Structure 1
Amino acid sequence: HIYALEVGPAENIDTTELEQALQSYLYLRQKVALLATAGGLRVELPRDKAKALFYAIKTGQFRKLGLQEVRVIAEFRQEERPAGGPAVLDRLRATVSRLLGEGKPDGAFQALAASLHRQSRFYRQLESWSQQAQAKGDMSSLLLPILDELQPSDLK
């Protein structure tokens, strides 16, 4: 089972720092994807990792990073995971734009990469995009046109 947790409050939280802290705390091989929600940040994790994070936040282990609240907002089996809808796409666009605006191009790229469905035509191009952007040193000119072309079906 996959659990979606909402953690927060979102203001004054450095999402890049939080993603790294969650990844190391939960011993995850891949980067944690945080999606902005109305009440905070949404993170989806397997049941055991979600439980560990839930109790860690409840006991104050992430307070120095600004996390004080946590709640379970959804639970689903991996195979019945809802496909990304227009709202998810809008949130992703907002998150990527915000990170670019904050001067965090790597965070913006990670947010996009973490949200793409493996079957998406964009997913297969990620590696070459990353190399192009690093060579040019300009992630914005790369990511913004991609965001315009994305469809809900491209997202997890």
Structure 2
Amino acid sequence: MREEYAEQLELLGIMDGTRETEHRLHHQFDHLRRFSEWFRPGPEFLAFIEHHARPLLFPTSERRPLPAHIYEKQQRARRLYDAHPDGFSDTELAAMLEVSRMTAYRHRQHLQAITIQPGHYRLVPRPEEIAEALALLQVAISTALIHPQTILHTLSPANA
């Protein structure tokens, strides 16, 4: 759950139960359902949690580093965006990463992708990536690997 919802998640408690228990609770608190498995914190819902749930044995408020497999998925999402400059949708990213669409959405939010057309997103280069590219370009120009006129010609709107 942390992979999909990161720090927006606050665990109020845990309790034992069966699938039947879960089904009964879903029915009991259906009027508070936001979507899927998520419910609004109505007074009766919070009272039920306080009465029936128990806290975890470790503190949940401490920010722990992301597990390696989650970090790798985020980096893979970045590489996929970089490889598709025309952008793609959350559904396409989810299929490529083999995760839910909600997880793809969270990766997109984390990477701060921008909308290039309705429902399609791409990344904006990070400042350090832009600085690195400019430094490499300066080296290429100063060592005569590339002529400044070539850059101007390439960047010209007539050649876009």
**TM-score normalised by the chain length of structure 1:** 0.29
**Larger helix percent:** 2
**TM-score normalised by the chain length of structure 2:** 0.29
Structure whose CA Rg is larger: 2
Higher relative contact order (CA 8 A, sep 6+): 1
**Larger strand percent:** 1
